[in-house]
């Protein structure tokens, strides 16, 4: 069945008609052209399609769009301000924490949720939190360094409250 | 880094059918599998046919991970695993065979 829903995505309301069976991933990518949200495994095992739902990381491939109404949805596009990169993105760039970069949007959003929840995470906490995001180029060492750098950047200059 | 192929990654076929063809069943390395620390040593040898002696630098180095792990296992428990991935089950079988015992075969190996 098709129905009209309103989704709050990156602080903007988007009203559109979706099928009940459409996943949030399909709506974000195919309808709203938010290309940072990427499909890889399609079964919630890889973390490529990670988005934030009320600040918590979820796999958009496992979530129906009609179940996502009334929640704050954040994709990578909502992280920077359009001009400046978010400190986490800056950290990924300066630590070169990407190779092919397919997994990067998912990682960046998971790191955002991690640092919001645990501002000063230990190495073990970072590993535990990010173990749901797969990187096939295995750039994990660089990603770990990027998380530590992002943590420093954020603690030095706190981002404005959201 | 080749760690996944060394320790986890294997396409399993049963009756000609791939039975672990998704990321739920085919295990790749996660950030939790990364060693606490590792050091890269670059040995610079000019390549005669490359521009200014250059050659590819990326995946060539990956070849060293599997022998390093196999050597470490042999050094630690005295068995040599000669096929990848080096799973706990293979090490257990090799240890049993070394003691003259044989573990029952299971089609899921």
Q: Which residues 6+ apart lie within 8 Å of B32 measured at CB?
A: A127, A128, A131
Residue B2 has pLDDT above 80, yes or no: yes
pLDDT in tens, B50-89: 898 888 777 777 788 899 999 999 999 999 999 999 999 9
What CA–CA distance (Å, rounded) separates A143 from A127?
10
- Secondary structure (DSSP) of B3-72: HHHHHT----EETTEES--STTTS----GGGS-S-----------TTSGGG----SGGGGGGHHHHHHHH
- Crossing angle of helices A104-117/A87-94, nearest 10°? 130
B90's tokens: 């293979």
Q: Which residues 6+ apart lie within 8 Å of A99 measured at CB?
A: A137, A139
pLDDT in tens, A143-161: 999 999 999 999 987 555 5
How close is the nearest chain A Cα to the Cα of B69, in Å? 17
pLDDT band at B107 (very low <50, low <70, confident <90, very high): low
- Residue A24 to residues A28, A42, A70, A76: CA-CA distances in angstroms? 6, 12, 13, 15
Torsion of Cα atoms, A2 then A63 then A103 then A54, to 10°: 110
Instruction: Please say whether the structural domain A2-78 has been given the CATH code 3.40.50.1100.
Output: no
pLDDT in tens, B23-48: 999 999 999 999 888 777 778 888 88
Q: Are B33 and A142 in contact (CB under 8 A)?
A: no
The predicted pLDDT at position A142 comes to 93
How close is the nearest chain A Cα to the Cα of B32, in Å? 5
The predicted pLDDT at position A161 comes to 55
Residues of A contacting chain B (CB within 8 angstroms): 40-41, 43, 45-46, 126-128, 130-136, 138, 140-141, 143-144
Which of A131, A140, A145 would you mutate first to test chain B, the one with the most B CBs within 10 A? Answer: A140
B59 is catalytic: yes
CATH homologous superfamily of A87-156: [2Fe-2S]-binding domain (1.10.150.120)
The predicted pLDDT at position A81 comes to 84
**Where do you find CATH 1.10.150.120 in chain A?**
87-156
- Residue A47 to residues A8, A34, B11, B42: CA-CA distances in angstroms? 21, 16, 22, 33
Residue in chain A closest to B25 (alpha carbons) equals A45
**Where do you find CATH 3.10.20.30 in chain A?**
2-78
Residue B12: count of CB within 10 angstroms of its CB: 14
Q: Which of B59, B74, B89, B97 is catalytic?
A: B59
Residue B32 in contact with partner chain A when CB distance is under 8 A: yes
DSSP β-ladder status, A2-9 and A12-19: antiparallel
- Which residue pairs from A116-123 have beta carbons closer than 8 angstroms and sit at least 24 positions apart in sequence? A116/A55, A119/A151, A119/A154, A119/A155, A120/A151, A120/A155, A121/A147, A121/A151
B24/A143 CB distance under 8 A: no
**10-residue mean pLDDT series, chain A (162 residues):** 95 96 97 96 95 97 96 95 92 95 97 96 96 90 96 80 54
Contact list in B for residue A40 (CB cut-off 8 A) is 23
Residue B30 in contact with partner chain A when CB distance is under 8 A: yes
Mean pLDDT, rounded, for B85-98: 93
Domain count for chain B: 1
The predicted pLDDT at position B106 comes to 65
Assigned domain for B19 exists: yes
pLDDT in tens, A44-71: 999 999 999 999 999 999 999 999 999 9
A136/B22 CB distance under 8 A: no
The predicted pLDDT at position B45 comes to 84
How close is the nearest chain B Cα to the Cα of A138, in Å? 6
Q: Which of B1, B22, B30 sits opposite A131 (nearest CB)?
A: B30
The domain that contains B51 carries what CATH number? Answer: 3.30.365.10
């Amino acid at each position: 069945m098709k129905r009209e829903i309103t989704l709050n995505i990156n602080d903007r309301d988007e009203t559109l008609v979706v099928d009940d069976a459409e996943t949030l991933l399909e709506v974000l990518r195919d309808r709203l052209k938010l290309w940072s949200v990427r499909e890889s495994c399609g079964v919630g095992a890889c973390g490529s399609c990670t988005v934030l739902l009320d600040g918590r990381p979820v796999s958009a491939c496992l979530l129906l769009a009609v179940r996502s109404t009334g929640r704050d949805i954040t994709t990578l596009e909502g992280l920077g301000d359009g001009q400046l990169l978010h400190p986490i993105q800056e950290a990924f760039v300066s630590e070169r924490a990407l190779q092919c970069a397919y997994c990067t949007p998912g990682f960046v959003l998971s790191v955002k949720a991690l640092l919001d929840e645990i501002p000063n995470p230990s190495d073990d906490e970072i590993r535990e939190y990010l173990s749901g995001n797969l990187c096939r180029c295995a750039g994990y060492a660089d990603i770990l360094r990027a998380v530590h750098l992002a943590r420093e950047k954020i603690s030095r200059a706190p981002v404005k409250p959201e | 880094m080749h760690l996944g192929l060394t320790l986890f990654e294997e396409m399993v076929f049963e009756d000609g059918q791939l039975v672990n063809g998704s990321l739920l069943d085919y295990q790749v390395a996660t950030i939790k599998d990364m060693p606490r620390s590792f050091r890269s040593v670059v040995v610079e040898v000019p390549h005669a046919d490359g521009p200014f002696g250059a050659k590819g630098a990326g995946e060539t180095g990956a070849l060293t991970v599997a022998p390093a792990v196999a050597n470490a296992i042999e050094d630690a428990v005295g068995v040599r695993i000669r096929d990848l991935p080096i799973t706990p089950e293979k090490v257990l079988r090799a240890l049993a065979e070394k003691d003259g015992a044989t573990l029952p075969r299971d089609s899921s190996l």
